[in-house]
Structure 1
Amino acid sequence: MPRWSAEYSASRGDEHRRCALSEPTTDGRRLKGERRRQELIEATLRVVARDGASGVTHRTVAREAGLPTTASTYYFAGIDDLLCAALTSVMDKDAARVQRLTAETETLEEGLRGLAEMMADSAADPADRLADNELYLLAARRPELREPVRRWLEAVAAFARRHTDDPMRVRLFVGALDGLCLQSLLVERPPTVREFEAMLRELLPG
């Protein structure tokens, strides 16, 4: 083998070894960054549930997460970015649950039962639901935050459209479901699964 070929092969081998060594480090840093970002989002939701959206600052979120303030400013340039990430997290999680119900249940009865269980689970954890609604109402004043809300509403509408072709009933179902979730925060005893299911059945009789 010519000398230059041997040198080239050796240099390429060194390069591959460097890449092989750096890839796990890069992956590890990315995973750590994603984990830290999620911790900050969850901390934001806890602050919103306790103090409202107005209580969200880089300092309060970082303190809630047990991280330095610089961590919050590193991953989120401004408070709007934190609020948008928190709203997106909760709306997309709820939308995904409804989408799974729509795809995996075969009958209206199964779907309504699953939706009632989801609503009862949510009502049983008022802190989480309070944070959801704080951010939901914030989107009413901030158009730039409305896209995650739109995805949630569309997921509920898609569920209803699977069982009715009446557009007015679809709109009624979507609006009433939101109202039932909000009302569950204001009563001493939130509805049970059976009660939620009975109300949903009145809205979407099939």
Structure 2
Amino acid sequence: MAPSDQPATPSRTRRRRDPDARKREVIEAAERVIAARGLEGMTHRAVAEEGGIPVASTTYHFATRDDLIQLAFERSVDDFAAYLDALDHEQPLTTLTDLVDQLTDAVVTACTTHRARSVLQYELFLAALRRPHLRPIANRDIALGRTRLEQMLPPNRAAAVSALMAGLILHGMVGTTPPDRDHVHAALADACHLGAASDASTGN
């Protein structure tokens, strides 16, 4: 065979590796490290060990820890947007009861079955407290949730319910016991004025 027809050697294969795939491996490893150890435990070496990749690859694609944090935050918000889009298609809102039920499920699952993902999201969201360049990403995150709530609620109430949900999830994750579904549902029903809306619709 001519030299160009020979199978690529392992070293040649590595050199031809898709740089986007490697970058994705780095950021996914960083997300796992943040979820497990927090931002303070996220170093280039820790990411390399988690992903089974050379440290040089992490520093090549992300010169600083803040570069990693920013992209992880952007991905987190993109995931949230995709989740809301899917929810709109699969469970469109038609009543306040639907809304309260969905929000209650979201709070409970965020603190239980989806806890690891929620920890990552909150670690990244709170990173904006000390990193002003992350605040536009945080603003987008907040706006996404409020926009969906505004399908059923006035803007001011949507903002209040969004803040309540964030607090309920945070309390549920840092507390010693998971949130009680009935208590969460009652709090969200009050915030959404579900009882008042029901009374009005029945003429009471």
Match of 1:107 in 2: 95
Shift of 1:64: 0.8
Q: Which amino acid aligns with 2:48?
A: A
In 2: Cα distance, 1:64 partner to 1:130 partner: 18
Instruction: Report what 1:154 is aligned to.
Output: 143
Aligned to 2:202: none
* Alignment match, 1:17: none
Name the structure 1 match of 2:29.
43
Alpha-carbon distance change, 159 to 205 in structure 1, aligned in 2, over 3 angstroms: farther
Aligned-pair RMSD on alpha carbons? 2.5
Match of 2:177 in 1: 189
Which runs of 5 or more structure 1 residues have no equivalent in the other structure?
A: 1-28
Report SS of the residue matched to 2:129. Answer: helix
Alignment-derived partner of residue 59 in structure 2: 73
Query: Who is 1:18 aligned against?
Result: none
Equivalences for residues 16-165 of structure 1 within 5 A: 32-102=18-88, 104-124=92-112, 125-165=114-154
- Report deviation, 1:55: 1.9
Considering fraction of residues, name the structure with more helix: 1
* CA gap 1:30/1:144 in 2 versus in 1, 3 angstroms: farther
Partner of 1:9: none
Cα 1:68–1:111 shift into 2, 3 Å: same
Change (3 A) 1:192 1:97: farther
Q: Does 1:168 align with 2:156?
A: yes
Say whether the 8 Å CA contact 1:123–1:184 is kept in structure 2. Answer: yes
Task: Tell me the distance in 2 between the aligned counterparts of 1:77 and 1:70.
Answer: 10
SS in 2 for 1:80: helix
Farther off after superposition, 115-124 or 149-158: 115-124
Tell me, in whole angstroms, the C-alpha distance in 1 between the residues paired with 2:146 and 2:43: 34
Measure, in 2, the Cα distance between the counterparts of 1:172 and 1:144.
Answer: 25
Q: 1:96-152: per-residue Cα shift (whole Å, max 9, x none)?
A: 323443563333322332333233222114333222222211111111112222122
Larger Rg: 1
- Report the number of matched residues: 177
2:33–2:46 Cα contact (<8 Å) kept: yes
Q: What is the CA–CA distance in structure 2 between the aligned matches of 1:117 and 1:90, rounded to whole Å?
A: 20
CA distance in 2, matches of 1:96, 1:193: 25
Q: Deviations over 1:132-175 (max 9, x none)?
A: 2222111111111122221221111112211122x332221121
Identity of aligned residues (%): 31
